[in-house]
């Protein structure tokens, strides 16, 4: 039986592969102006989409609007109902509905 030759290519790949820091996507970092209904919750100044979602989650947690039985659902109060358009929304649906209120 013949032995397999090990090549230096395999070891060269390991040494050249360096971890690079990810750059944030410019589309997420672009400041957007919220609609008047969304501004009542997150503020009127222009914010990046990531910060809008972060402030929205802060509002949801401080007002205890997460459904106790199914934590993926959010129960809308008087301020969130105009944004969501209905009483209960899933967290995945929330970002889609919020994006309609950003310009």
Q: What is the CA radius of gyration of the chain?
A: 23
Q: Of 1.10.10.60, 1.10.630.10, 3.40.50.2300, 1.10.245.10, which CATH number belongs to 30-99?
A: 1.10.245.10
Whose tokens are 């971890």? That residue is 19
DSSP 8-state secondary structure symbol assigned to residue 48: E
Task: Report pLDDT for 8.
Answer: 59
Task: Report pLDDT for 15.
Answer: 55
Domain segments of the chain: what residues?
30-99
pLDDT (average), residues 7-18: 58
Q: In the structure, what pLDDT confidence band is assigned to residue 9 with cuts at 50, 70 and 90?
A: low
Residue 33 has pLDDT above 80, yes or no: yes
Instruction: Answer whether 58's CB lies under 8 Å from 51's CB.
Output: no
CA-closest candidate to residue 91, choices 63, 72, 64: 72
Task: Report pLDDT for 3.
Answer: 67
Whose tokens are 């109902």? That residue is 81
């Amino acid at each position: 039986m013949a032995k397999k030759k090990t090549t230096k290519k395999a070891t060269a790949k390991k040494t050249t592969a360096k971890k690079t820091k990810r750059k944030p996507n410019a589309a997420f970092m672009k400041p957007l102006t919220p609609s008047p209904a969304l501004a009542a919750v997150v503020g009127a100044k222009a914010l990046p989409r990531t910060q809008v979602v972060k402030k929205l989650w802060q509002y949801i947690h401080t007002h205890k609007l997460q459904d106790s039985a199914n934590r993926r659902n959010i129960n809308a109060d008087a301020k969130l109902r105009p944004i969501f358009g209905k009483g209960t929304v899933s967290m995945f649906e929330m970002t889609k509905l919020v994006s309609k209120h950003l310009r």
